[in-house]
């Protein structure tokens, strides 16, 4: 009798958990099928072109294609290349912004940089001028270069090395392993980043960056050159999906209370000037980088990442966008698509 009651109770608990997680929680087989189907469907797609304004990026194999999805138990669902590293590029901006929020609170980002889409290119200088003219507070965000270089300048530390260590420790916590800089990419970008140096100086001239603008630009350039594979990126996305706690290592990397602010900026500005189109299609906060990676976050459910270097005109990986959208549709992950009860 007692055993029966315990069985009934555990069934009731399981049902409750399933219902509160959403009736459409998928089985491992369904997730695996969706990931593999996305890979098969788009592996032959020959659209887009590697970024070449940073010379080292033009040399990356355009056929590289890897997909990884990580759920609450840290299980990795994957297809394609999971080990080759590309430079994280703009995806790093998310995690430096998160670090600043962790050190100083989300208001520091909102007040000093802003949390609005600029509607302009990621390295627009005009957007800084317009924001300045509007006067009522910065109309930028930490995912475009002016805001991102400013966010890097806001990371607290005693020396440049100390600031760099704090950034790397934060990224490592999200990825669940020690990451390193791809030196060829760093050198290539450092040799050609005069526009970013100018942006850093302008942000200093206007008071957003308080000191050492060129140091901030150099550290920003280094953070963009950190090497990541598809699994690393999925782990970073999954840590955001689960309240700042890495589901693979179990480490709380940032406070859960900061995560909604990070995701909000990703939703408004994560895919350059095509952020609206992306949100319209998938409903998910995401971030792309010119190295060919895209991460997408399904809060409470999954971190998704795809690497494929050829980009469209807006600077977003063509295959990565399509593969993630395919998985989102297959597993019904758009959070705006709620069903009537
Ligand atoms: N390091 C790149 C830059 O500043 C990042 C651009 C990107 O990925 O969007 O130009």
pLDDT at residue 150, rounded to an integer? 98
Structural domains in the chain, CATH included, are 2-337 (3.40.710.10)
- Mutational test site, ligand 1, from 52, 53, 54, max ligand atoms within 8 Å of CB: 54
Atom 2, ligand 1: residue with shortest CA distance: 89
Q: 262 near 240, Cβ under 8 Å?
A: yes
Q: 336 near 294, Cβ under 8 Å?
A: no
CB of 189 sitting under 6 A from ligand 1: yes
Distance CA 106, CA 126 (A): 26
pLDDT in tens, the chain (341 residues): 444 444 444 444 343 344 444 445 789 999 999 999 999 999 999 999 999 999 999 999 999 999 999 999 999 999 999 999 999 999 999 999 999 999 999 999 999 999 999 988 999 999 999 988 887 778 899 999 999 999 999 999 999 999 999 999 999 999 999 999 999 999 999 999 999 999 999 999 999 999 999 999 999 999 999 999 999 999 999 999 999 999 999 999 999 999 999 999 999 999 998 999 999 999 999 999 999 999 999 999 999 999 999 999 999 999 999 999 999 999 999 999 977 77
- Mutational test site, ligand 1, from 87, 90, 316, max ligand atoms within 8 Å of CB: 90
Q: 138 near 194, Cβ under 8 Å?
A: no
pLDDT at residue 7, rounded to an integer? 47
Ligand 1 atom nearest to 89, measured from its CA? 8
> What are the Cα distances from residue 336, in Å, to 220, 233, 238, 274, 340?
34, 24, 19, 19, 12
CB of 271 sitting under 6 A from ligand 1: no
CB of 316 sitting under 6 A from ligand 1: no
pLDDT at residue 16, rounded to an integer? 39
pLDDT at residue 14, rounded to an integer? 40
For 295, the enclosing helix (H) or strand (E) is strand 293-298
Specify which residues 67 forms β-bridges with.
Answer: 79, 306
Q: 54 near 188, Cβ under 8 Å?
A: yes
Report the alpha-carbon angle 259-223-42, nearest 5. 75
CA-based diameter of the chain, in Å?
77
Q: How many CB atoms are closer than 10 A to CB 168?
A: 17
Torsions phi, psi for 315 (to 5 deg): 100, 15
Report the alpha-carbon angle 235-315-243, nearest 5. 25
Q: How many CB atoms are closer than 10 A to CB 45?
A: 14
- Mutational test site, ligand 1, from 123, 182, 287, 292, max ligand atoms within 8 Å of CB: 123
Torsions phi, psi for 206 (to 5 deg): -90, 0
pTM of the predicted model, to two decimals?
A: 0.92
Distance CA 146, CA 121 (A): 11
């Amino acid at each position: 009798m007692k055993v029966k009651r315990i069985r009934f109770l555990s069934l009731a608990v399981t049902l409750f958990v399933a219902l509160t997680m959403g009736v459409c929680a998928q089985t491992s087989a369904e997730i695996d099928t969706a990931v593999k189907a996305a890979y098969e469907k788009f592996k032959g797609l020959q659209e887009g072109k590697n970024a070449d304004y940073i010379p080292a990026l033009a040399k990356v194999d355009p056929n590289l294609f890897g997909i990884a999805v990580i759920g609450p138990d840290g299980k990795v669902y994957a297809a394609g290349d999971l080990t080759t590293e590309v430079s994280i590029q703009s995806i790093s901006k998310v995690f430096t912004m998160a670090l600043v929020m962790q050190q100083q609170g989300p208001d520091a980002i909102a007040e000093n940089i802003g949390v609005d889409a600029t509607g302009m290119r990621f390295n627009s200088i005009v957007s800084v001028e317009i924001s300045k003219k509007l006067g009522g507070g910065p109309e930028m965000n930490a995912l475009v270069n002016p805001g991102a270089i400013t966010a890097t300048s806001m990371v607290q530390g005693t020396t440049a090395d100390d600031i760099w260590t704090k950034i790397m420790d934060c990224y490592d916590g999200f990825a669940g392993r020690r990451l390193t800089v791809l030196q060829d990419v760093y050198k290539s970008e450092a040799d050609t980043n005069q526009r970013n140096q100018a942006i850093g100086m302008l942000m200093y001239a206007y008071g957003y960056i308080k000191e050492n603008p060129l140091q901030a630009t150099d550290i920003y350039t280094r953070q963009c050159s950190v090497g990541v594979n598809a699994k690393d990126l999925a782990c970073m996305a999954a840590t955001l999906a689960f309240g700042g706690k890495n589901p693979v290592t179990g480490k709380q990397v940032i406070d859960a209370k900061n995560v909604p602010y990070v995701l909000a900026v990703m939703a408004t500005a994560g895919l350059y000037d095509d952020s609206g189109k992306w949100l319209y299609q998938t409903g998910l906060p995401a971030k792309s980088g010119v190295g060919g990676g895209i991460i997408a976050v399904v809060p409470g459910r999954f971190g998704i990442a795809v690497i494929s270097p050829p980009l469209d005109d807006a600077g977003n990986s063509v295959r990565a966008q399509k593969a993630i959208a395919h998985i989102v549709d297959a597993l019904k992950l758009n959070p705006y698509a709620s069903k009537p009860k």
